Amino acid sequence: MNDKQSILSIAKRTIETEGGAIQNLVSLLDEQFAGATECILQSKGRVVVSGVGKSALIGAKIVATFNSTGTPAIFMHAADAIHGDLGTVQQNDVVICISKSGNTEEIKQLIPLIKRGGNKLVAITGNMDSVLAKQADFALNTYVEKEACPNNLAPTTSTTAQLVMGDALAICLLELKGFSSDDFAKYHPGGSLGKRLYLRVADIFGNNLRPEVDINSKVKEVIVEISEKMLGVTAVTQNGKLVGIVTDGDIRRMLNKHDNISALTAKDIMTSNPKTVSPDVLAIKALESMQEKGISQLLVMDGDEYVGVVHIHNLINEGIL
């Protein structure tokens, strides 16, 4: 086996090991999971997630997922909690402790402090006989047969299972709360993801020039308008009403078909019933429409009024595509 084959073999084995463990989580789901979900859903406080080592890192990611999907959450490192940070936990908060063994010393010390405060405790653990599982109000089983590490030591499969269990909780809560794409946009205003959720055609087409010719305009005028407005297209209007569109592709086809173009007008080469979009449509929907129709521009119509053009380059520049 050469080096590349060896590398691929190890990678496949790792993915297969972890994939099998994740699939097995389905069989471990029970009423404990449902109870934990309902407990968090009904809570008037936040979710405080705690752990140590690699489980702490997974906990921080679960907190991020909760927060971005409408469940207020905060991370508290278990070691810091027993050295002054326990004040992070407020009345009505639900605490999630993550530990593969469920017997980590810091977690064992933290459990009675959580219970003393009257907070509900959810365990995510691979050991249902552990102190954590037995003391928790709800215990979510993330047992894995083995780590992907060939020495069965480095937390790999077990931390993946913890993360997936956290995702399952977050998505259950999201759906039960009726958390919509509009809600999601409120929590993700930045970057291309946010723009996909809130940016509308009205936000981006205004900086473009507004190409327009009359239906009786000579072809030379049409070509000049397309060239000057630099959008590869012009709207064709009659008495102020949109009646067609001429693209640079129409110009090329016209030149292939006609030797003498001096007598031609916009009416002779335009496409009637052009594809349009409303200013209040999401930019991502405009992009999908362009891709579906195999075009690069849409004429923007505010009711019956032609107001401009949105170009695929606008969407690229905004990071939508």
Instruction: Give the model confidence (pLDDT) of 162-199 as tens digits.
Output: 999 999 999 999 999 998 777 766 666 666 566 676 78
Return the minimum-mean-pLDDT range out of 38-42, 253-257, 301-305: 253-257
Beta-carbon contacts of residue 242 (< 8 Å; ≥ 6 apart)? 235, 236, 274, 276, 299, 301, 306
**Nearest to 102, CA basis, from 80, 83, 124, 120:** 124
pLDDT score recorded for residue 235: 96
pLDDT at position 147 over 70: yes
Confidence of residue 129 (pLDDT cuts 50, 70, 90): very high
Give the pair of three-digit tokens for residue 235.
């709207």
Tell me which residue has tokens 């060239």.
227
- Strands 47-51, 94-99: pairing is parallel
Phi, psi of 208 (to 5 degrees): -80, 150
**Mean pLDDT, to the nearest integer, of 85-91?**
92
pLDDT score recorded for residue 187: 67
Asked if residue 178 lies in contact with residue 202, where contact means CB atoms within 8 angstroms, the answer is no
pLDDT score recorded for residue 321: 67
Please state, rounded to an integer, the average pLDDT across all residues of the chain.
Answer: 92
Instruction: State the Cα–Cα distance between residues 142 and 83, nearest whole angstrom.
Output: 28
Q: Write down all domains in the chain, each with its CATH number in brackets.
A: 3-178 (3.40.50.10490), 201-317 (3.10.580.10)
pLDDT score recorded for residue 68: 87
**Mean pLDDT, to the nearest integer, of 271-276?**
92
Amino acid at position 1, single letter: M
- Compare 195 and 153 and report the one with higher pLDDT: 153
Binding residues for Zn(2+): 77
pLDDT at position 5 over 70: yes
Confidence of residue 50 (pLDDT cuts 50, 70, 90): very high
pLDDT at position 59 over 80: yes
**Mean pLDDT, to the nearest integer, of 134-140?**
97
Asked if residue 94 lies in contact with residue 43, where contact means CB atoms within 8 angstroms, the answer is yes
**Mean pLDDT, to the nearest integer, of 26-35?**
97
- 0.85 cut: is pTM over it? no
Binding residues: 77
* Portion of the chain with pLDDT greater than 70, in percent: 94
pLDDT at position 1 over 60: no
Beta-carbon contacts of residue 51 (< 8 Å; ≥ 6 apart)? 58, 59, 77, 78, 97, 98, 99, 107
CB 305: neighbour CB atoms within 10 A?
10
pLDDT at position 137 over 70: yes
**Mean pLDDT, to the nearest integer, of 102-123?**
95
